[in-house]
Homo-oligomer: A and B are copies of this chain.
Amino acid sequence: MAAFALGWSDADGRPHQGDGGKGVRPAIAMLSAEAVGGTAESALPAAVAVELVHAFSLAHDDIIDHDERRRHREALWKAYGVGPALLTGDALLALAVNQLAGRPEAMTYLSRALIELVNGQTADMAFENRPWRGPNAVTIAEYTEMVAGKTGGLLAAAAAAGVALGGAPELGDLMWETGRDLGVAFQIVDDMLGIWGEPRVTGKPVYSDLRRDKKTFPVLAALAADHPAARELSDLLAEGVSDEDSVHHAARLVEEAGGRAAAQGLAERYVAAAVAVMDEHLPDAADLRALCVSLADRAR
């Protein structure tokens, strides 16, 4: 089941050249090590750990969110049942912890990321039950805090553990903060792909965030705009978007009110801030920088 989750086998256990994801987190770990003069190999335990934690979180998130599709295939729980998928997630996490148990300079960051991940996921769940408007509406500041944990924590751990294992533990805390910024950018772009992405490419059903009232950045930004489309969108979301027509219409209004442009702009600013820190403090950040810039370009 773990091999299925990682894209290495099909549901019957046969070897399978599946979509194992982009490998962004391990790439950040290894490029961060290289950026401080270490070898990519020096960060390998951290690279493996963050990818395993990512796989763990997908396995559990899909159960929590009732998402039936992941990476062009059935979600793990859909293929094997909730109990086995839950336990497989636990196994992936145990293996991740095992990678770094003897390396406190990296383990402390992984541990911090786990707590951030759970806090972020908890907030994400709670936000689904809060309204789009009115005094209890989710604010953009709350959104940013949520995604800095949910998505940023693990990117932060990858970057911080990467430099720590690469020979520059004194840069760990700085890279932690930088990784969180990258995570915010990364999630904003993911939010965009959830609305305007090609399901063929993303492997996820389109509009599922909108359908379930997920508080994503493009929608929050659109609602905050001073634009007629923002008011129409607000009314539409208050009614609830469930049928194909209304969800499609909502997506158009988000774009019309400027939500898409605001998202792209903010993601790029977060990446630029992260890249500036890297350029200033890391001896050789060229490859890491290129990766980070590419992350903001995925929804263009």
Which residues from chain A sit less than 8 Å from chain B, CB to CB?
Answer: 60, 63-65, 82-84, 86-87, 90-91, 93-95, 97-98, 101-104, 107-108, 110-112, 114-115, 117-118, 121-122, 125
Residues of B within 8 A of A108 (CB): 101-102
Cβ-closest chain B residue relative to A84 = B125
Task: Tell me, in angstroms, the Cα distance from A258 to B69 when the chains sit together.
Answer: 51
Copies of this chain, how many? 2
**Shortest distance in angstroms between A108's beta carbon and chain B's nearest beta carbon?**
5
Q: Is the Cβ of A98 less than 8 Å from the Cβ of B112?
A: yes
Given B87, B101, B117, which contacts A94 in the complex, CB threshold below 8 Å? B117
Task: Tell me, in angstroms, the Cα distance from A106 to B185 when the chains sit together.
Answer: 36
**Shortest distance in angstroms between A2's beta carbon and chain B's nearest beta carbon?**
10
Q: Is the Cβ of B64 less than 8 Å from the Cβ of A87?
A: yes
Residues of B within 8 A of A65 (CB): 83
Task: Tell me, in angstroms, the Cα distance from A97 to B117 when the chains sit together.
Answer: 13
Q: Is the Cβ of B91 less than 8 Å from the Cβ of A63?
A: no
**Shortest distance in angstroms between A169's beta carbon and chain B's nearest beta carbon?**
13
Q: Is the Cβ of B98 less than 8 Å from the Cβ of A114?
A: yes
**Shortest distance in angstroms between A76's beta carbon and chain B's nearest beta carbon?**
13
- Answer whether A90 and B104 are a contact pair too, CB < 8 Å, given A83-B63, A98-B112, A125-B83: no
A–B pairs, 16, beta carbons within 8 Å: A64-B83, A64-B87, A65-B83, A82-B82, A83-B125, A87-B122, A87-B125, A90-B118, A94-B111, A97-B97, A97-B114, A98-B111, A98-B115, A101-B108, A101-B112, A103-B104
Residues of B within 8 A of A125 (CB): 83-84, 87
The 4 A-B pairs of least Cβ separation, nearest first, read A101-B111, A94-B114, A64-B83, A91-B118
Residues of B within 8 A of A90 (CB): 60, 93, 114, 118, 121
**Shortest distance in angstroms between A129's beta carbon and chain B's nearest beta carbon?**
11
Cβ-closest chain B residue relative to A56 = B90
Q: Is the Cβ of A110 less than 8 Å from the Cβ of B101?
A: yes
Task: Tell me, in angstroms, the Cα distance from A102 to B104 when the chains sit together.
Answer: 5
**Shortest distance in angstroms between A225's beta carbon and chain B's nearest beta carbon?**
33
Task: Tell me, in angstroms, the Cα distance from A107 to B156 when the chains sit together.
Answer: 21
- Answer whether A82 and B104 are a contact pair too, CB < 8 Å, given A87-B122, A98-B112, A98-B115: no
Task: Tell me, in angstroms, the Cα distance from A115 to B115 when the chains sit together.
Answer: 20
Task: Tell me, in angstroms, the Cα distance from A115 to B118 when the chains sit together.
Answer: 20
